[in-house]
């Protein structure tokens, strides 16, 4: 993360908030899907009703975007919707059920969304879990890989035809925004353990998280390559939202106490944490920007594995094989 006061080429910094980076932008012609949770240090899925997921929803709706919250807990999602509507009565927000750890749930969500015959301009793959004990998903795939990458991979593929149609008919660039993390730098040494995705004996909670976040970057990289190759008017970028001042470490009393004492100097607030997502989704400066890794509302750079186009292609093929999807 750059120092809070440093402004990059965009004119924004780590200190900028989601409202600031979208000031004056009219999103009334746009429809967005935002997947619900952000991160949880204890592997509890935080809903779009908390943290930067809620703030991203609020600010996009404030700018006139029709937001579909894709959340695991629809009761909590509806509470957020009511809260936002209380402050912004004209906000257009729908809540739909989605469990990214289940491919059946992903397929059900995509089918239900397409049945609504809505356009889709923006897909924000925001949800995630972090540092879980070894667990398998309902599809028998390691949970962090299944939730953070594979669920979003399948969701994106299932919605691409809708996004392409919207981009063509509206003559407006579609944007896919995938939340990654600087944690990608702490993946397993080989980056992605294709032959050991479900290996419990060598499983490491934080390295598995890093692996899934590296997958997010490579997913955006390969999407951007394919869109350019096919002449599709959609961009795909990944980003690091920053270290957010939340209660994620509430069960780690010493770290939480220390964080509360120094956090305001080194951590982002929730409005600052949601800024890069909103910048990538709405700002005119991001038009045509694709295959990049963003941080603090500016283009940044991942590690060498995050730039490996061959690794990105291998991950793409591996993900297709696990989901049973066909090439785009």
**Tokens 């499983």 found at:** 203
Model confidence at 45: pLDDT above 70: no
pLDDT bin (cut points 50, 70, 90) of residue 271 is very high
pLDDT (average), residues 15-42: 85
Residues of the chain above pLDDT 90, percent? 83
Q: Active-site positions?
A: 203
Q: Residue 130 has which token pair?
A: 């972090």
- Sorting pLDDT into bands at 50, 70 and 90, what band is 42? very low
**Measured distance CA(61)–CA(56) in Å, rounded:** 8
With a cut of 70, say whether residue 250 has pLDDT above it. no
Cα–Cα separations (whole angstroms), residue 71 to 86, 114, 128, 134, 312: 20, 17, 11, 23, 28
At residue 190, the 3 state secondary structure works out as coil
SS3 66: strand
* pLDDT surpasses 80 at 287: yes
Model confidence at 265, pLDDT cuts 50, 70, 90, reads: low
pLDDT at residue 44 tops 50: no
Inter-axis angle of helices 205-230 and 151-170, to 10 degrees? 30
6-17 pLDDT, tens per residue?
889 999 999 999
Residues 6+ apart with CB under 8 A from 255: 249
Asked if residue 311 has pLDDT above 70, the reply is yes
Q: What is the mean pLDDT of residues 103-121?
A: 98
3-state secondary structure 70-126: EECCHHHHHHHHHHHHHHCCCCCEEEEECCCCCHHHHHHHHHHHHHCCCCCCEEEEC
Q: What is the pLDDT of residue 244?
A: 77
From residue 153, give the alpha-carbon distance in Å to each of 86, 119, 172, 220, 285.
34, 20, 23, 10, 26
pTM of the model: 0.92
* 3-state helix, strand and coil shares in percent for the chain, rounded to the nearest 5: 45, 15, 40
pLDDT at 168 over 60: yes
The pairing of strands 293-295 and 298-300 is: antiparallel
Closest CA to 176 of 168, 167, 187, 188: 167
pLDDT bin (cut points 50, 70, 90) of residue 41 is very low
pLDDT the model gives residue 326:
74
pLDDT, one tens digit per residue, over 182-208 is 999 999 999 999 999 999 999 999 999
Q: How far apart are CA 319 and CA 42, in angstroms?
A: 26
pLDDT value at residue 40:
40
């Amino acid at each position: 993360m750059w120092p809070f006061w440093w402004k990059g080429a965009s004119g924004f910094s780590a200190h900028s908030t989601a409202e600031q980076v979208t000031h004056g932008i009219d999103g009334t012609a746009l429809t967005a899907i935002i997947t619900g949770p952000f991160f949880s240090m204890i592997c509890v899925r935080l809903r779009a009703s908390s943290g930067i997921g809620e703030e991203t929803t609020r600010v996009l709706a404030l700018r006139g975007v029709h937001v579909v919250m894709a959340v695991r807990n629809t009761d909590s999602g509806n509470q957020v919707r009511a809260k936002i509507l209380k402050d912004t009565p004209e906000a257009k927000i729908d809540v739909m059920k989605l469990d990214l750890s289940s491919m059946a749930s992903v397929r059900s969500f995509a089918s239900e969304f397409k049945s609504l015959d809505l356009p889709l301009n923006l897909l924000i793959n925001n949800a995630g879990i972090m540092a879980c004990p070894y667990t398998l998903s309902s599809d028998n795939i390691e949970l962090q890989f299944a939730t953070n990458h594979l669920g979003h991979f399948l969701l994106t593929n299932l919605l691409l035809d809708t996004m392409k149609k919207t981009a063509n008919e509206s003559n407006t660039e579609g944007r896919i925004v995938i939340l990654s993390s600087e944690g990608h730098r702490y993946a397993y040494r080989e980056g992605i353990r294709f032959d050991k995705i479900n290996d419990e004996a060598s499983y490491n909670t934080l390295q598995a998280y890093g692996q899934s976040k590296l997958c997010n970057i490579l997913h955006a990289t390969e999407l951007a390559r394919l869109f350019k190759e096919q002449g599709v008017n959609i961009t795909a970028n990944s980003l690091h939202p920053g270290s957010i001042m939340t209660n994620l470490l509430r069960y780690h009393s010493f770290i939480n106490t220390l964080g509360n004492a120094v956090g305001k100097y080194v951590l982002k607030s929730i409005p600052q944490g949601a800024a890069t997502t909103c910048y990538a989704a709405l700002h005119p400066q991001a038009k045509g920007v694709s295959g990049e890794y963003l941080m603090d509302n500016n283009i940044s750079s991942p590690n060498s594995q995050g730039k490996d186009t061959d690794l990105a292609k291998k991950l793409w093929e591996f993900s297709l094989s696990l989901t049973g999807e066909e090439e785009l």
